[in-house]
Structure 1
Amino acid sequence: MIQTPLSSLVAVVVLTSVLTIPTHAKSIMKDGIERIETTSSRIHRMNDTNGYVVSSISEETLSRVSFQHIQESLNYVAGAGVQRGNGQEYLPALRSPVLTGAGGCGGILAAEDGIPLRAAGFCNINELFEAHGEMAQRIEVLKGPVSALYGANAIHGVINVVTPDTTYDDGLAAIDVGSYGFSRLKFRKGKDLGNSGIGINASVTRDTGYRDNEGVDQEKVNLRHRFAWAKSSITTGFTYTHLNQDTAGYIEGFESYKNKALAQSNLNPEAFRKASSMRLWSKYKTQSDGNYALSITPYLRKQSMDFRMHFLPGKPLEENAQQGVGVLSQLNYVLSPTFSIDVGIDAEYTEGELLQYQTGETEGSAFLVETVPVGEHYNYDVNATLVAPFTALTWHQDDWKLSLGARYEQMHYDYTNNMIAGRTRDDGTTCGFGGCRYSRPESAENTFHNFSPKFNASYQYSDQVQFYGGVSRGYRAPQATELYRLQREQQVADLDSVTATNYEVGVKGKTQQGRYVLSLYRMLKENVIYRNSDFFNVNDGETLHQGVELTVNHGLSDKLSLDFAGTYARHTYEHSQLLGEVDIQGNVIDTAPKVQTNTRLRYVFSDAVTSELEWQYVSRYFTDAENLNEYEGHHLLHARIHYALSSKVSLFARINNLLDVNYAERADFTSFSGPRYFPGRPRNVMLSVSLVL
C-alpha cells in the first residue's frame, strides 16, 4: 500500500554512509583527555555541556540482572515506573503516570544508539522491544523535556539503549536458563584490524511463559564496522530484531491476581504479536585539535507488525508498517575559551501504512454486533516529512556553566484514505444504532510547527558538590493514529501539538563513599490529547506533574554497598472533564503511584563471589480517573549471586520474587470489565554461564 518507492532514498543512505560518528563510548584525544559520548549529545565531550542529567544503567548491572523484560532494569532509574504487560509488552512511565490510551503513545522517546526506534509520528507504545537491551553496553535515561536535542516525542524524556562497539578484540558467549521454559543464548565477537574492525552482537530468546498459551520467540542482532583515519572515523551499524509472541491478556475480577489459578489463566488464547524491525546507519565523526567536532548520521529504518487486538470488540487484526530514511547532525564549535556553540539539523522522511480488519462477527450485545462489522475498519497510508534545525550556546567560566538552546521543528503528514470515508461498513452500507464504531476521515494533509527553547545553569560549589537548574519546553505533534483513526461521529480531528513546560533544580555530588543526585521538578502539560465521552480525539486536556527524585550509590564498608533510586511524585488532572457524575479536575491521574523505590544491597564475600538483595516497592495507586478504584501496591524481593570461576568463566544465580508474593505488574479498571490485571510471575529462578572469548 505504500505509494512512493524508497529505492532512491536507500541509495542516498548508502552514498552518504561515510557521514557519521562512532558510538564507541570513549575516545582519547590528542591532548590525552578522555572524552565521553552520552545520550545528552552526539559529540564526544570532556563533560556534558548541554545541561542534561543522564541516568545510566551499566553493562555490569545489566549482566548481573540479565533481564527477561527491559522493565526489570528500568526499575533502577528514579522516576521511571514502567509497567510490564505480557510477553515483551509494556506501558511506559517517566516522570509521568503510566502512559496509555489516546495521547499516551509518543510521550517518551525510545532510541538505540541515539537513533529513534520509530519515526516521530508513528510511535508504538511497546517499541523498546525493538532495541537490543539484552546485550547493551548501557541504557541511558534523560528525564524531562529533551526536545531541544531530540525533538518530538521526548516530552517526558529519552530512553536510549547503547549497544557495544564490537569492532575490537573481545567476545562473549553465554546461556541463561530459567523457570517456565525461559532460555537465552548470547554471543558477541569482534575483530580489531587496526584502523578498522568488525563485530557481531546477537541473542536468541525462548520463553514458554507462566500463563496458559503464552510464549515469546525473539531474535536480535547488531552488526558493526569501524574505519578511522587521522582525526576522523566512520562507524556503520545494522540492527535486526524479530518477535513472535503468543499473548495472554488481562485477567478480570477484584484482586484476581491473588488467585493462582486465575493468575495463570489466559482468556485470550487467540492473541498474538508478530513484529520485525531493521535499522541501517552510518556515523561520520571528525574533529580538530580543539576548535570543532562534527557528527553526521544518515540512517534507514523499516518495521512491520501484525497483532490481534484482543482488547477490542470483535478482536480485529491490525497490520502496520513503516519505512523511511533520515539524518542526524551536530557541529560543536569553540568560539573562545568560555563560549562554544552547537548547531545541527535533523530530517526524516517516512512512509507508513495501517490496515485494521475483522474476519468474524462481533460477540456481545446487539449494539456491538451491529456497530462493529466484519470487514475492513481502516486502510490508509501516511507519508510524513520532518525537518528540524537546532542550536545551543554554552558559556563556561570558573565554576559556572550556562546553556541556552532552541529547536524548531516542522512535521508534515500526507494522508491517503484507501476506503470509503465516514462511519460505514467497507462496502458503503450503514450500520444501525446511528452508525458504525469506526470513522475514516477524507484524505488530507496536516502540518505542525513547534519551537522548543531550553535554558540550563550549573554551579560547581566544590569539588564534591554541583548545583543545577533549568527550564525547558517539550512538545510532540499528534500521532498519525490520533489524526486518522477516528470513532463514531468524528470526521476530522482538529488537534494541536501537546506542549510541556518543565522547571527543575537539583544537586549532585560525590562523597568518600559514593555519589548522589537529588532533583525536584514541576512540569505542566497543555493540549493533552484524550478521547472524550463522545469518543472524539480532542486535546484540551491539562495535567500537572511534580516530584522529587533521589539516587544514591553508597559504600557502607569495604564489602557492603547500597544503591537506592526513589521518587515521590504527584500527577494530577488540571482540566475539567465529567466522567459519569465526577469532574476529574484536581484528581490524581490513574496508574500514578506516589512512591516508587528500588534498593539494592550488595555484599562482596571475596574477589570471586558477590551477592545482591534487591527490594522493589510500588505504592498504592488509583486505577480510574474518578479515583474510585485502586490497587494496593506491592513489595518484591529479588536475590542474586555471582561466582567468578576464573578470569573468563562466571556463574550467576538469580531468584526473582523471592517471597513468592501475589501481585499485579499492572492494575487497571474499565466500566465494561471492572478491575483487571496483568498478574506478576510467582517465584522463579535463572541460572547463567558466561564465557569471555
Structure 2
Amino acid sequence: MRSPNPRILYTALCLTGLSLATSVIAQDSNEEVSRIEQVIVSASREPETGLNLTLPWSRIDDDALKLTGAVHINQVMQRAPGAWISRGNGQESLVALRSPVLTGSGGCGAFYTAWDGISLRAPGFCNVNQLFDVNSEQAGAIEVIRGPGTAVYGANAVHGVINTLTADPRQGPEHGYAVEAGPNDYYRVRGEFRAEHGAHAVGVHFNGVSDGGYKDNAGFDQQKLTLRHDFSGEQWQVTNALEATNLNQETSGFIRGFEAYKDPNLKKVNPNPEAYRDSFALRAYSRWSRETGAGQLSITPYFRRTSMEFLQHFLPWQATEKNGQESLGLRLALSDSIESFSWSTGVDIDATRGWLREVQDDDFSPNQPAGVHYDYEVDALSAALYGQANWQLTSRLGLAAGLRLEQNSYDYDNQTDDGSACAPEASACRFFRPADREDDFSNGSINLGVTYALSDDHRIYLRGAQGFRPPQAAELYRLQSGQEVADLDSETITSVDLGLRGAMGGFSYDASVYSMQKSDVIFQDADRQNVSGAKTRHVGIEFSVYWTGESGWYAGIDGNIARHRYDSDANLLGSRLDIEGNDIDTAPRHFGSARLGRDTALKSGRSLTTELGWVHMGSYYLEPDNQHEYEGHELLNLRLALALGKGFSTTVRVSNLLDEDYAERADFGFGAYRYFVGQPRGVFLEFAYSPE
C-alpha cells in the first residue's frame, strides 16, 4: 500500500503542531523561553544569547543526544531544520545543509564541520564522510549555523556550520556506564568519568560499537575517546582537549534497479563484499584565555592527524586509495565589550601536509591500467585576519557586522611520473598527474545584520552574508582525461536572510526565509575535467516550532521547504540537456521531522520519557536532467526511557516502527537506478547506570 501523499501529511502535521502550540500560549512555563535564550558559542567562539543572534541557528542539547542514542549521526541531525545527513553504508554519509546533497571530491568543501570550533579536516582536504571523525554520540551539544558563517569562519563555511561541542567536565555524574544491543549483532558500550579537584576538572568519554550489518558482509567496528581538562586559575582559564576515533568497516555498495529497495531478494545483497574502509582521526587543542588591559585574550594551538584507506568499490576498476593529513594550527583572538558595544578580532593560521596515493592491482582496460594512478603530497598554509562586532544601537535595535580576509596556499609535489598514468596506446586515459606547482587563493567575506526587538521575547532580524571555499586539493591535482592543469576559482556564495524568533509561555518558534546565489561552482564536465564557473540558486524557508505543556507533554517540528536550482547551463557530467532552471539532483523540496513526547513521574522516584518521532523525506530528482526521481518516504520512530531509581535506567528505541521500505539515498548513474537501502524495523535496548 502506498503511503499517503507527503505534501498532505507534511501540511497536516505542521497545522496540527501550530494549533497545539497556539492553544497553550497562555500557559505559565519558562522552559521554552530558555530554549530560545540558551547560550550559543558557535557564532563568535564566545557565549552569546541565542535570542539576539542575527543569523539562523539550531542547538541539539545533551538530553536530545542521549534520548536519540544515534546509531548514525543522521538520526540526531533530523532535529535541525534544513539539515539532512544522507546515510550511506555503515558510518558513511553525505551532507546537505541548506543545500542539495553535494557529492564529488570537493562537495564536502561547502560545509564547515568542526569540533569545539576547530575544523575536522584542514582547508583543502575535506572528506565527504568526515563527520564520523567526531564523537557526536557523547557530545555536550551540537550547534548548527545555516548559511554562511560569521567572520570567525573562513574556508568551507558556505552552506553552513556543524559544530560538535565537548561535554563540560564540571557538569553531569561522576561516572556512568551503559551497554546496548540491537538487531544484526549490534552491540555498543559507553562510559564517562568526571573528577574535580580545586581549580581542575577532568572528563573522560568513550564508546565502542560492533555492528554485524543489515546487509551481507557489511558490518563495522568503531571506537571513540574524548578527554577534556579544564583549569580555572587566578589569571588564566585553560581548556585542554583530545579526541581519537577509529573505524574499521566492511562496506556495501548501491543495489541497482528501479525501486530495488522494495525487493526482498535484493535488500540484503551486498554487490561489493570485497569493499572496506579503515579510518583513524586524532585531534587535540589547548585554549588559554585571560583578561588583559585591552580585553580578553585567547590563544589556542591545535593539532590534527587523519589517515584513511578504502576500496573504491563505486568504480568498476576498484582502485585502492590511501590518504591522510597532519596539521598544526594557531588561533589568536582578542575580544571586549564597552557598554552596548562588543567586538572580537583575531588571526587564524593552519599549516598542513596532506597526501594521497591511489593504486590499482589489476588491469581493467588500457584507460584504467594497473599500477599507481596518483601519488602526491601537498603542503598547505591558511592564514586569516577577521573582526566581528555587535552594537546595541537602541533598546530595541541591534547591529552585527564582520569582515574576514583569508589566504590559502598549496605547494603540490607529485611523487610519481608527470602526465598520463597509461601506456601510449591508451585512447582516453582516465588518470593524469600534473607536474609540481604552487597555487594561491585570496578570499574575503563580509556579513551585516540588524535585529529588532518586537518585545522582550520576540526578535526579527535581517542579514546579508558571504561565504567562500577555495578548490580542494583533489580538484586541483587529481585530474582525468588529459587535463594538465585545473584552472579553478574559489566558489563564493551571497546570502540574504529574514528571520523571526520568539517565545511565549510554553511555546517557542524560530523561522527564516533565505535566498542564496552561489558563483564559480566547481564541477566535473562531460569530458571529466574539473572546471569552475557554474551558478546555482537556493531559496527557501526553515522553521522550528516547540511546545512544552502541562503534565510533562511536549512537541516539536523542524522542517524546511526549499528549491535548489541550476542557475546557468553547464556541460555537466551525466547531463545531456540544458539544465538551467532544473532542480539540482538529490535536492528534496521539503523534508523535516516532528516529535510528540511526555515526561512522566512515577512512584518511588522513577520516571518515564516517551517520544514518538516522525521523519518526512520529500521526493527528489536523481540526475541533473530531472528525468528520474525518488518518491520520498515517511518513517516513525519510538523511544522509551525509564529511570528505575538508584542510578539505574533502561531505554528502548524502535527505529522504522511501521517497517517501511525506503532508501536512505537514491541515485542514478551508469544508466541505472541505485539505492542505499534503509533498514527495516529495529529494536535497540540499553541498560545504563550512573550514581544519582
Could you state the TM-score of these two structures normalised by the residue count of structure 1?
0.91
Question: What is residue 540 of structure 1 aligned with on the other side?
Answer: 533
Q: Deviations over 1:562-581 (max 9, x none)?
A: 11001000000011125654
1:477 paired to 2:470: yes
- The aligned runs of 1:510-659 (5 Å cut-off) are 510-578=503-571, 581-607=576-602, 608-646=607-645, 648-659=647-658
Asked if the contact 2:575/2:623 (under 8 Å) is kept, the reply is: no
Question: Aligned equivalents of 2:142 and 2:234: distance in 1?
Answer: 30
State the Cα distance separating 1:360 from its structure 2 match: 1.4
- Relative distance call for 1:35 and 1:179 in structure 2 (3 A) is closer
1:305 paired to 2:299: no
- The aligned runs of 1:273-284 (5 Å cut-off) are 273-284=277-288
Question: What is residue 188 of structure 1 aligned with on the other side?
Answer: 192
Question: What is residue 214 of structure 2 aligned with on the other side?
Answer: 210
Counterpart residue identity of residue 259, structure 1: D
Question: Aligned equivalents of 2:51 and 2:262: distance in 1?
Answer: 47
Question: What is residue 63 of structure 1 aligned with on the other side?
Answer: 66
Question: Aligned equivalents of 2:137 and 2:72: distance in 1?
Answer: 8
- The aligned runs of 1:164-313 (5 Å cut-off) are 164-166=167-169, 170-287=174-291, 292-313=295-316
State the Cα distance separating 1:216 from its structure 2 match: 1.0
- Relative distance call for 1:580 and 1:144 in structure 2 (3 A) is closer
Question: Aligned equivalents of 1:226 and 1:87: distance in 2?
Answer: 34
Question: What is residue 341 of structure 2 aligned with on the other side?
Answer: 339
1:421 paired to 2:418: yes
Question: Aligned equivalents of 2:324 and 2:576: distance in 1?
Answer: 41
- Relative distance call for 1:297 and 1:241 in structure 2 (3 A) is same
State the Cα distance separating 1:469 from its structure 2 match: 1.3
State the Cα distance separating 1:37 from its structure 2 match: 5.5
- Relative distance call for 1:581 and 1:381 in structure 2 (3 A) is closer
Question: Aligned equivalents of 1:574 and 1:445: distance in 2?
Answer: 31
Question: Aligned equivalents of 2:100 and 2:49: distance in 1?
Answer: 35
- Relative distance call for 1:308 and 1:604 in structure 2 (3 A) is same
Question: Aligned equivalents of 1:328 and 1:161: distance in 2?
Answer: 18
State the Cα distance separating 1:235 from its structure 2 match: 1.4
Question: What is residue 118 of structure 1 aligned with on the other side?
Answer: 121
Counterpart residue identity of residue 676, structure 1: R
Secondary structure, counterpart of 1:63 in structure 2: helix
State the Cα distance separating 1:49 from its structure 2 match: 7.0
Match of 1:411 among 408, 412, 421: 408
Asked if the contact 2:379/2:411 (under 8 Å) is kept, the reply is: yes
- Relative distance call for 1:49 and 1:658 in structure 2 (3 A) is closer
1:40 paired to 2:33: no
Question: Aligned equivalents of 2:543 and 2:235: distance in 1?
Answer: 40
Secondary structure, counterpart of 1:244 in structure 2: strand
Secondary structure, counterpart of 1:262 in structure 2: coil
Counterpart residue identity of residue 487, structure 1: Q
Question: Aligned equivalents of 2:688 and 2:166: distance in 1?
Answer: 18
State the Cα distance separating 1:243 from its structure 2 match: 0.5
Secondary structure, counterpart of 1:260 in structure 2: coil
Match of 1:108 among 103, 108, 111: 111
State the Cα distance separating 1:601 from its structure 2 match: 0.5
Match of 2:367 among 346, 356, 371: 371
Asked if the contact 2:169/2:230 (under 8 Å) is kept, the reply is: no
Could you state the TM-score of these two structures normalised by the residue count of structure 2?
0.91
1:463 paired to 2:459: no
Structure 1 stretches of 5 or more lacking a match? 1-33, 363-368
Counterpart residue identity of residue 224, structure 1: R
Counterpart residue identity of residue 432, structure 1: A
Question: Aligned equivalents of 1:281 and 1:137: distance in 2?
Answer: 17
State the Cα distance separating 1:416 from its structure 2 match: 0.5
Asked if the contact 1:43/1:330 (under 8 Å) is kept, the reply is: no
Counterpart residue identity of residue 689, structure 2: L
Question: Aligned equivalents of 1:48 and 1:606: distance in 2?
Answer: 31
Structure 2 stretches of 5 or more lacking a match? 1-36
Counterpart residue identity of residue 355, structure 2: E
Counterpart residue identity of residue 586, structure 1: G
Question: What is residue 675 of structure 1 aligned with on the other side?
Answer: 673
State the Cα distance separating 1:43 from its structure 2 match: 2.3
Secondary structure, counterpart of 2:97 in structure 1: coil
Counterpart residue identity of residue 265, structure 2: A
Percent identity over the alignment is 39
Match of 2:436 among 440, 443, 459: 443
Question: What is residue 389 of structure 2 aligned with on the other side?
Answer: 393
1:500 paired to 2:500: no
Question: What is residue 5 of structure 1 aligned with on the other side?
Answer: none
Deviates more, 1:377-386 or 1:550-559: 550-559
1:83 paired to 2:86: yes
Counterpart residue identity of residue 383, structure 1: D
Asked if the contact 2:654/2:681 (under 8 Å) is kept, the reply is: yes
State the Cα distance separating 1:182 from its structure 2 match: 1.0
Counterpart residue identity of residue 233, structure 2: W
Q: Deviations over 1:291-318 (max 9, x none)?
A: 7323221101111000000111310000
- Relative distance call for 1:603 and 1:340 in structure 2 (3 A) is closer
Counterpart residue identity of residue 539, structure 2: Q
Asked if the contact 1:103/1:528 (under 8 Å) is kept, the reply is: no
- The aligned runs of 1:87-102 (5 Å cut-off) are 87-102=90-105
Question: What is residue 29 of structure 1 aligned with on the other side?
Answer: none
State the Cα distance separating 1:196 from its structure 2 match: 1.0
Asked if the contact 2:481/2:529 (under 8 Å) is kept, the reply is: yes
Question: Aligned equivalents of 1:154 and 1:35: distance in 2?
Answer: 23
Q: Deviations over 1:366-407 (max 9, x none)?
A: xxx120000000000000001000002321131111011100
Deviates more, 1:157-166 or 1:677-686: 157-166
Counterpart residue identity of residue 604, structure 1: D
Question: Aligned equivalents of 2:497 and 2:50: distance in 1?
Answer: 20
Asked if the contact 2:51/2:502 (under 8 Å) is kept, the reply is: no
State the Cα distance separating 1:540 from its structure 2 match: 1.1
Secondary structure, counterpart of 1:502 in structure 2: strand
Secondary structure, counterpart of 1:503 in structure 2: strand
State the Cα distance separating 1:561 from its structure 2 match: 1.6
1:321 paired to 2:324: yes
Q: Deviations over 1:13-39 (max 9, x none)?
A: xxxxxxxxxxxxxxxxxxxxx994511
Question: Aligned equivalents of 2:559 and 2:425: distance in 1?
Answer: 52
- Relative distance call for 1:311 and 1:46 in structure 2 (3 A) is closer
Question: What is residue 452 of structure 1 aligned with on the other side?
Answer: 445
Question: Aligned equivalents of 2:292 and 2:395: distance in 1?
Answer: 24
- Relative distance call for 1:581 and 1:120 in structure 2 (3 A) is closer
Question: Aligned equivalents of 1:183 and 1:344: distance in 2?
Answer: 45
Asked if the contact 2:353/2:380 (under 8 Å) is kept, the reply is: yes
Asked if the contact 2:191/2:205 (under 8 Å) is kept, the reply is: yes
Asked if the contact 1:147/1:153 (under 8 Å) is kept, the reply is: no
Asked if the contact 2:174/2:193 (under 8 Å) is kept, the reply is: yes
Asked if the contact 1:102/1:530 (under 8 Å) is kept, the reply is: no
State the Cα distance separating 1:603 from its structure 2 match: 2.3
Counterpart residue identity of residue 349, structure 1: A
